[in-house]
Copies of this chain bind each other. A is one copy, B any other.
Amino acid sequence: MSGLDQALEGVLARLDAEREAALSRLFQLLRFESISTDPDYATDCRQTAEWLATELSGIGFDASVRVTSGHPMVVGHAEGPDGAPHLLFYGHYDVQPVDPLEYWNTPPFEPAVEVREDGSQLIRARGASDDKGQLMTFVEACRAWREETGALPCSVTVLFEGEEESGSPSLVPFLEAHREELTCDLAMVCDTGMWDADTPAISVTLRGLMGDEVIVKAASRDLHSGGYGGPATNPIRVLSKILAGLHDDQGRVTLPGFYDGVVEPSPEIKAQWDALPFDAEQFLGSVQLSHPAGEADRSVLEQLWSRPTMEFNGVTGGYTGQGFKTVLPAQASAKISCRLVGDQDPEAIRTAWRAYVRENLPTDCEVEFFPHGGAPGTVLPYESPSYEAARGALTAEWGADAAFVGCGGSIPIVGYFQEILGMDSLMVGFALEDDAIHSPNEKYELKSFQTGARSWARILAALAARS
């Protein structure tokens, strides 16, 4: 047994012994109401960042809260042995809004452990899975390495962001301004999921994102539908026609040029995906759906991992309170987003979408747009040795072959790390499909938290062993 292997045994034993304390620290983090998209929670976000910096300092990181024009970043550095790889770990401490609050069974910011009939346990809270629970798996792995051996086996820089759920407006300027400080050999991003509850996964493709908001304006004020109904243009009617025209009856997006740059996955990846035991019926059935709504000629896994989408995330106009109001509203608005793959260009698609809206706008309407982030899709170099080393560590910890999988979501940071810092990302995470991230009653498996921390302890050793 090498010295590194021996040290790892001690680190894993320490993680097992310190489980209660680790959970209590996670609960502290979960109690912060760090909703980044809503300015009312700015103070909560700052306090969360301060708490994280203090935690990192306590385990030997040179850590600080960095002011941005939005919510702050947390950066920490811990040096490893000479010649060991230098790794950047990224996570985000901000969370999604909690509405509709009435769908929550417990208060979203009062974390609790729930025990199922089969004895398995879960951590219930907003952010438990996305991303506070995930980022704490890495922090706890570092703590155990530090406390057991006095140092980390690799040099580690930590970057925690507070705007991931609100389009990351400060991220690119921050990366550009701190290129030297943040450029490492490899990034590690913990914002993805397991293949299933027993099978760990490394995400090797990601969909990109183009988000946009449109406001359609008609009359100069809200009108009474008795006095104006008929001749007055109704912006809800206009917006409905615009949204309704974006998909054909085969589920394809009709926007001209939308599919430009879409790349089919490589035969190797496609073969791996085909071999994965995926039950589309069960996947949809878990949220009470049964009929795939994407492109009719594509499998559900393709619809999720390798095909782009155009989705409507929010729509509002007119009177939406209790009761009824016979109003013709002055305006109606929608928030839309596209998931992008391959070489689709987010800005070209934003331009095409806006042009389509303008072309379909009646004379009596005006339109305003607000951009909400854009990032292209990503394919990572999964054939390189670091990825194989991490896959080996995960397989050893979980006792099941780790899978290279696609990810339907967008993790723009991975694209930025490539573009700005010239760094690939190893995406490992322990979330499950049913974690209800972005939804009421979000949870994280207690096993994800505990075995996740052990997984990172092993990955650090495996990457160190390659040096």
Contact = CB atoms under 8 A, between A and B. Distances in A.
A270 interface: no
Contact of A37 (B227, B283, B324, B363): B324
Contacts of A236: 243, 312-315, 334
Interface string A420-440: 000000000000010011111
B290 A363 contact: yes
Given A313-B319, A314-B325, A335-B319, A304 B407 contact: no
Q: How many copies does the complex hold?
A: 2
A220 to B, nearest CB: 4
B229 A438 contact: no
Contacts of A218: 289
B230 A309 contact: yes
A323 interface: yes
A313 B303 contact: no
Interface in A266-317: 280, 283-284, 287-295, 300, 303-304, 307, 309, 311-317
Contacts of A323: 36-38, 166-167, 372
A440 B319 contact: no
B363 A291 contact: yes
A445 to B, nearest CB: 16
A230 B294 contact: yes
Nearest to A302: B230
Interface stretch (A59-67, A206-214, A389-397): A206-214
A426 B288 CA distance: 55
Interface string A24-46: 00000000000011110000000
Nearest to A243: B240
A17 to B, nearest CB: 34
A48 interface: no
A166 B224 contact: no
Chain B CB within 10 Å — which of A229, A293, A312, A364 has the most?
A: A229
Contacts of A126: none
Interface string A12-32: 000000000000000000000
A312 B231 contact: no
A222 B439 contact: yes
A207 B326 CA distance: 13
Interface string A320-333: 11111111110011
Contacts of A229: 304, 309, 311, 339, 408
A380 interface: no
B332 A337 contact: no
Contact of A364 (B100, B226, B289, B409): B289
A234 interface: yes
B315 A316 contact: yes
Contact of A247 (B237, B300, B438): B237
Contacts of A320: 314-316, 333, 335
Contact of A307 (B96, B227, B230, B436): B230
Contact of A225 (B39, B97, B309, B373): B309
A139 to B, nearest CB: 24
B312 A234 contact: yes
26 contacts: A37-B321, A38-B323, A39-B322, A97-B321, A165-B325, A166-B324, A167-B324, A221-B436, A222-B440, A225-B339, A225-B409, A230-B293, A230-B408, A231-B280, A232-B293, A233-B289, A234-B293, A236-B313, A237-B293, A239-B240, A240-B243, A291-B362, A313-B326, A313-B329, A324-B373, A327-B438
Given A224-B438, A233-B289, A237-B244, 4 more contacts: A103-B222, A224-B409, A226-B339, A314-B320
Enumerate the 7 nearest inter-chain pairs by beta-carbon distance, A residue then B residue, closest first. A226-B409, A37-B323, A230-B303, A244-B244, A314-B318, A230-B294, A240-B243
